[in-house]
Chain A
Amino acid sequence: MKQLFFVLFLMMAVSCRILPPTAPIVPIDPVLIEKCSSLFPLKSFRAVHALTASMFGDKKSLFVGITVADIPSARIRSFLLSVEGMVLFDATSVNRTITIHRAVAPMDKQGFAQGLFYDVEFIYFPPQGTLTGAEVAADGTLVCRWQNNHRFVEISSEASGHSTLTERSESREVLRRAEFFPPLVNGFYKKILLEVYDVGGVGDLGGYSLSMDFLEGEPIAPSDDLFAP
């Protein structure tokens, strides 16, 4: 009997070890699944932000960012302008295939366009992969966790509307963190703070931070020509 118990214990231990660390132990409540997906309500939109970036050195730079995204078709068009109106960066991502229409130094650096589109997807697109956990804390905070291969994404959405989205590596290092500050204007947060950390796998730019202040935007049904050069 003792031997049988030991074998069972060993089998359970092995089973636990081969499960992903955040795999659900119990099925997730369908209501929570719905709540987690409702945290990413925008399907297609145009948004204009004032972007204050700490990038390319120690000083901050101010840009105007214009993004049109059609999430169902995975198409994004992004512009970065100087405040004076010069187009410094213009590129399209269609199913993660990037076409750069214009990139003025230093935005022509290797990895800049990839990093920018990764950030847009991180902030606006529902996380890829499997929803592995969801819970509501005593204070009403909704926490949802996704796993996609070796990346883990967690969103913590407080009752106040303030939310934090975190992406971690397999070894649980934080790769990206976005903080969303209410109120919502036309479905967009008034302010978003993005931190991208200088750890392996993030890209060629090293770490950087971005403060995004919403200027204007609206849900749209984007026509194909918005993604053409």
Chain B
Amino acid sequence: MFIASSVFLALTVVSASQERWGDNWDNIRKAMAGVQSIKANFVQKKNLKILAKPLVSKGVFFYRAPEDLRWEYTSPIKKVLLVNRDMVKSYIWEEGDYVQDAGAKLEATRIVMEQIASWLRGDYEENDAFVPQLKVAARTRIELIPAKDFLKEFITRVTLTLSDTPGIITFIEISEPHGSSTILEFTDISLNKSIPDTIFNRVK
């Protein structure tokens, strides 16, 4: 009896330890809720039919729950996006200083940034812009299919690849019509460290 109980207990422990944070929506929501801040470097690769090789941009991003985001391109172009609640401010580097960019008026930019903030919060099932599908595998993915017509013009699918570390997304692939895509890879990820307010409300 003791042996049988021990085996049962051992199996339960193994089973529980094998359940990963990306296996179901509840676990994902709980893991994401534990994310208070993220700092990471990113590499953005743009694939287009007319390019011989992807167009590569690099930068750094900061996130603070629930919806502060700083998305900063450092090379080859310098640009900073500050996202707080419903506001997106965009700054471009010109002649040694940052100046405000009229491009922030572009609806597409605002939508992408708001969506990234929403994904980092774990708002998938509540998000009415995309229909989410969980693809559990060795590298679990969340596929987001646009639900609104104006998004379908730009995006056919968004694929988020989850890290082994709870709450972390390592890749975002945005598939577009005509075979184009944008891939974001996050590296040097720092989780739940204190980030000063100035990162989110001052360009430099």
Chain B, residue nearest A101 (CB): B178
CB distance from B141 to the nearest CB of A (A): 20
- Check if A64 sits within 8 Å of B55, measured CB to CB: yes
Tell me if B180 is interfacial: C-beta within 8 Å of chain A.
Answer: yes
Given contacts A52-B92, A81-B46, A87-B154, contact A59 B102 (CB under 8 A): yes
Tell me if A77 is interfacial: C-beta within 8 Å of chain B.
Answer: yes
Q: How large is the interface on A (under 10, 10 to 19, 20 to 34, 35 or more residues)?
A: 20 to 34
CA distance A86 to B180 in the complex (A): 10
CA distance A102 to B73 in the complex (A): 25
- Check if B50 sits within 8 Å of A66, measured CB to CB: yes
Of B49, B50, B52, the most chain A CB neighbours within 10 A belong to B50
Tell me if B11 is interfacial: C-beta within 8 Å of chain A.
Answer: no
Contact with A along B147-161 (1 / 0, CB 8 A): 000000110000000
* Interface positions of A from 169 to 215, Cβ below 8 Å from B: 215
Tell me if A57 is interfacial: C-beta within 8 Å of chain B.
Answer: yes
- Check if A61 sits within 8 Å of B103, measured CB to CB: yes
Tell me if A149 is interfacial: C-beta within 8 Å of chain B.
Answer: no
Task: Please give, as numbers and ranges, the residues of chain B lying within 8 Å of A40 by CB-CB distance.
Answer: none
- Check if B77 sits within 8 Å of A50, measured CB to CB: yes
- Check if B50 sits within 8 Å of A68, measured CB to CB: yes
* Interface positions of B from 158 to 184, Cβ below 8 Å from A: 174, 176, 178, 180, 182
Tell me if A229 is interfacial: C-beta within 8 Å of chain B.
Answer: yes
CA distance A88 to B136 in the complex (A): 34
Contact with B along A213-229 (1 / 0, CB 8 A): 00110101000011001
Task: Please give, as numbers and ranges, the residues of chain B lying within 8 Å of A84 by CB-CB distance.
Answer: 44, 71, 81, 108-109, 112-113, 182
- Check if B103 sits within 8 Å of A63, measured CB to CB: yes
CB distance from A194 to the nearest CB of B (A): 16
Task: Please give, as numbers and ranges, the residues of chain B lying within 8 Å of A64 by CB-CB distance.
Answer: 46, 55, 77
Chain A, residue nearest B181 (CB): A85
Given contacts A60-B94, A62-B92, A66-B51, contact A85 B102 (CB under 8 A): no
CB distance from B80 to the nearest CB of A (A): 10
* Interface positions of A from 134 to 184, Cβ below 8 Å from B: none
Chain A, residue nearest B55 (CB): A48
- Check if A82 sits within 8 Å of B49, measured CB to CB: no
Tell me if A94 is interfacial: C-beta within 8 Å of chain B.
Answer: no
Chain A, residue nearest B79 (CB): A83
- Check if A57 sits within 8 Å of B102, measured CB to CB: yes
Task: Please give, as numbers and ranges, the residues of chain A lying within 8 Å of B48 by CB-CB distance.
Answer: 66, 79, 87
- Check if A88 sits within 8 Å of B51, measured CB to CB: no
27 residue pairs A–B, Cβ–Cβ below 8 Å: A46-B50, A50-B77, A52-B94, A56-B102, A59-B100, A59-B102, A60-B101, A61-B102, A62-B79, A62-B92, A62-B103, A83-B73, A83-B77, A83-B103, A84-B71, A84-B108, A84-B112, A86-B154, A87-B48, A87-B180, A88-B106, A102-B153, A215-B76, A216-B55, A220-B52, A226-B50, A229-B178
- Check if B180 sits within 8 Å of A77, measured CB to CB: no
Given contacts A64-B77, A225-B49, contact A85 B103 (CB under 8 A): no
* Interface positions of A from 85 to 142, Cβ below 8 Å from B: 85-88, 102, 104-105
